[in-house]
Amino acid sequence: MSTMNMYVHDSNAIKVLHVQGDLNANTAGEVDSRLHQLIMGGNKKLIVNLDQLNYISSAGLRVFLSANKLMKKQEGNLRICSLNNTVKEVFDISGFHLIFDIFDNEEEALNGY
């Protein structure tokens, strides 16, 4: 059974969304809604921390593309951090390192934000 958890915390007044577990077609809708809510709620700086994400499928990648598009419309910036090897490989081979600001950890993502 696919499982996914999310929670948000404030770090230096910037919202950090933690997505944990599996991000696939079964769970992508929930993450998509949460990201949409955070962006439309006026957060022009947003970090997504994936340190506890086991794996991501193409449905999960779509969520981040969609969120990035929405964030750009709001003239904001989305940062993603703490990808494990499996998730990083999927991001890299999909060319997402060319689209997103990706950081090794949350501290680096917060730096200069």
**Which spans of this chain sit near another protein (rule: CB under 8 A)?**
1-2, 22, 24-26, 54-59, 61-62, 65-66, 69, 85-86, 89-90, 93-95, 98-99
Nearest residue (CB) to another protein, 44 versus 62: 62
Minimal distance, residue 77 CB to another protein, in Å: 16
Beta strand ranges found along 1-113 (DSSP E): 4-11, 14-23, 45-49, 53-56, 77-81, 101-103
8, 16 contact by CB (below 8 A): yes
Residue with Cβ nearer another protein (9 or 65): 65
